[in-house]
Amino acid sequence: MMKRSEKAASALLMLGMMFCLAACNGQSEIMSAESIEPAVTDSTAPVTLATSTTVITTTTVPAAPPDISVNMLAVGDNLVQTYVYKAAQARATGGEEYNFAPLYENVKPIVEAADVAVVNQETMICGPGFEVSGSNYNFCSPPVLADAMIDAGFDIFTLANNHLLDRGIEGLEASINFWDDMMRKRPILALGAYRGPSDQETIRVQDIKGMRIAYLSYTQSLNGYYIPDHSTLCVGMTSETELIERQIKRAKEVADAVVVSAHWGNEDTHVVPPGVKELAQNMINWGADVILGTHSHTAQTMEYLTREDGTQGFVFYSLGNFISAQTDNFNVVGEMANFNIVKNGESGAITIEDIGVMPVITHYDAVFANLRLYPYNAYTEELANAHALPYTHAPGESAKDFGMHVINAIADANIPKEYQWLT
């Protein structure tokens, strides 16, 4: 056990060694390991900088909806006369009675390319129990014609024309039944003959590509016939201007665009009567955007018509015949009208743009054999020179000359240059 004196000596020895080590390190005193916080003075006090917050507010304006454009093709009278349906009989195979497809195959690609295709079905289609006929102002076509037209690409069938009572009130009712049944089977609209006032006031509207298009159809004549007082059936007449005004305005309320089919004017002339021009202007004023004229069996001119507010609609006064077996040169050259119905995405305003009109020719060989349609851009000088029209001898013929020069003259006289679509 270490004695007290020994402990003291040992402590002194250790102290001496520490001084010696301190001297060797160049230090004169021992530093403590305790940290020391600096004193807070005016010069060392924490400084708070004044700051400001900048708030940037941005307003995102929603982009205007894009414009909507619907491409439409319209043709004139599908006049299936005797030699037209006989041509379909000659093409029938495999137990068929009629095959209309070859008659329309040359124009089918053009029809199918449109978003919507419209045709005036000039001849009645009444269904079973009604004899097929194509002459003597007593037209009734076989039911398979409707399927052929739909298969060719047509979507809208206007029915109001002067032949609606060719088979009496029974035939008109049967035709309405036929087209109602077709609309249940196929995605089409047929209009112009109605079961009664309520049906007539029901606006036919097509929804396509985000646009609503309303269709109306009227005729100037029923060939001197009248719907009996006891019948509820209705056909819109061009003389019923109050009805037309009301329906166009109503159509404009329920749809974006309004297309009116008008079967009017005089036959076998390229001249547009003043009364037709007056009614066309009124229809545009009331809100029609496009008028598709038919009945003359000849190609007629076309134009924009301006409303009081500066907006415009477009009228084709007559598209002439689509197909027929007529025998004057002005009857076998019709019009195919192509145009865009454009809805402005921001304002909703409707404009008719990119109008192009191509002649369409009914061609047939001797004795109306091999009757078929050609668009102008597929027709040739050779075909024109082989057309049998100059050699037919139907009563009342008046224009027998034919060739490309005749077709071009008809086009130049009736299709303004800015609308000619020839290639």
Can you tell me whether residue 184 is helix, strand or coil? Answer: helix
Sheet holding 302-306, edge to edge: 204-208, 211-219, 257-263, 290-294, 312-316, 302-306
Contact status, residue 362 vs residue 324, Cβ threshold 8 Å: yes
The pLDDT value recorded for residue 58 is 74
Residues 6+ apart with CB under 8 A from 183: 189, 190
- Find the radius of gyration of the CA atoms of the chain: 42
Burial class from Cβ neighbours inside 10 Å (0-12, 13-18, 19+) for residue 215 reads buried
Q: Judge whether 359 and 407 are in contact, CB under 8 Å.
A: yes
List all residues 6 or more positions away from 387 whose beta carbon is below 8 Å from its beta carbon.
332, 363, 364, 402
- Which DSSP symbol is given to 222? -
Strands (E), 172-300: 189-191, 193-194, 204-208, 211-219, 234-235, 257-263, 290-294
- Tokens linked to 354: 């990119």
DSSP string, 100-118: -HHHHTTTHHHHHHSSEEE
**CA angle at 65 for the pair 189 and 311, rounded to the nearest 5°:** 70
State the pLDDT at residue 396. 78
3-state secondary structure of 177: helix
Q: Is 64 exposed, middle or buried (0-12, 13-18, 19+ CB in 10 A)?
A: exposed
- Structure tokens of 197? 């006032």
Burial (Cβ within 10 Å: 0-12, 13-18, ≥19) of residue 292: buried
**How many CB atoms lie under 10 A from the CB of residue 140?**
22
d(CA 206, CA 388): 41
Beta bridge partners of 358: 336
In whole angstroms, give the CA distance from residue 217 to residue 292: 9
pTM: 0.86
pLDDT in tens, the chain (423 residues): 444 444 444 443 344 444 333 333 444 433 334 443 444 545 445 545 555 667 777 777 888 899 999 999 999 999 999 999 999 999 999 999 999 999 999 999 999 999 999 999 999 999 999 999 999 889 999 999 999 999 999 999 999 999 999 999 999 999 999 999 999 999 999 999 999 999 999 999 999 999 999 999 999 999 999 999 999 999 999 999 999 999 999 999 999 999 999 999 999 999 999 999 999 999 999 999 999 999 999 999 999 999 999 999 999 999 999 999 999 999 999 999 999 999 999 999 999 999 999 999 999 999 999 999 999 999 999 999 999 998 887 777 889 999 999 999 999 999 999 999 999
Q: Supply the pLDDT for residue 249.
A: 98
What is the pLDDT at residue 51? 58
Q: How far is CA 132 from the centre of its chain?
A: 33
| Pairing of the two strands 138-140 and 133-135 | antiparallel
Residue 236 CA from chain centroid, whole number: 24
Res 3: pLDDT: 40
Q: Are 90 and 228 in contact (CB under 8 A)?
A: no
Joined tokens for residue 50: 């004044």
The predicted structure's pLDDT at residue 50: 59
What's the pLDDT score for residue 14? 45
